[in-house]
């Protein structure tokens, strides 16, 4: 599911976890709306709700200038990667 949120394009995907049988991992990707080929940030979480919360928090961090890229691995159940 893709949606435009402000100046960002947000996409959510569900896929089977490569580590555990019958579990699903929820990915989110953030790109610029003007240039959807430019990946800014992505991550995954164990539930869709956690993925949505993490994605919106990441968009707020991008908007406020708290992050401009790079890669960050989170130690909780939500993983965030920035480019």
Domain ranges for the chain = 2-82
Q: Which residues of 37-65 are buried (b: 16+ CB within 10 A; e: fewer)?
A: eeebbbbbbbeeebbeebbeebbebbeee
- Distance, CA of 10 to CA of 5 (rounded, Å): 7
Q: What is the pLDDT of residue 13?
A: 93
pLDDT in tens, 25-78: 899 999 988 888 888 888 888 889 999 999 999 888 888 887 655 344 443 456
Say which DSSP state 21 is in. T
Q: pTM for the whole thing?
A: 0.75
- pLDDT mean over 3-27: 85
Residue 19, pLDDT above cutoff 70: yes
> What are the distances in angstroms from CA 25 to CA 65, 68, 72, 76?
28, 26, 18, 14
């Amino acid at each position: 599911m893709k949606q435009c949120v402000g100046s960002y394009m947000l996409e959510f995907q569900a896929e089977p976890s490569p580590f555990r049988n019958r579990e699903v991992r929820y990915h989110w990707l953030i790109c610029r709306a003007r240039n959807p080929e430019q990946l800014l940030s992505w991550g995954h979480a164990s539930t869709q709700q956690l993925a949505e919360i993490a994605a919106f928090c990441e968009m707020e961090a991008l908007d406020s200038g708290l992050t401009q890229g790079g890669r960050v691995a989170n130690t909780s159940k939500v993983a965030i990667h920035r480019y």
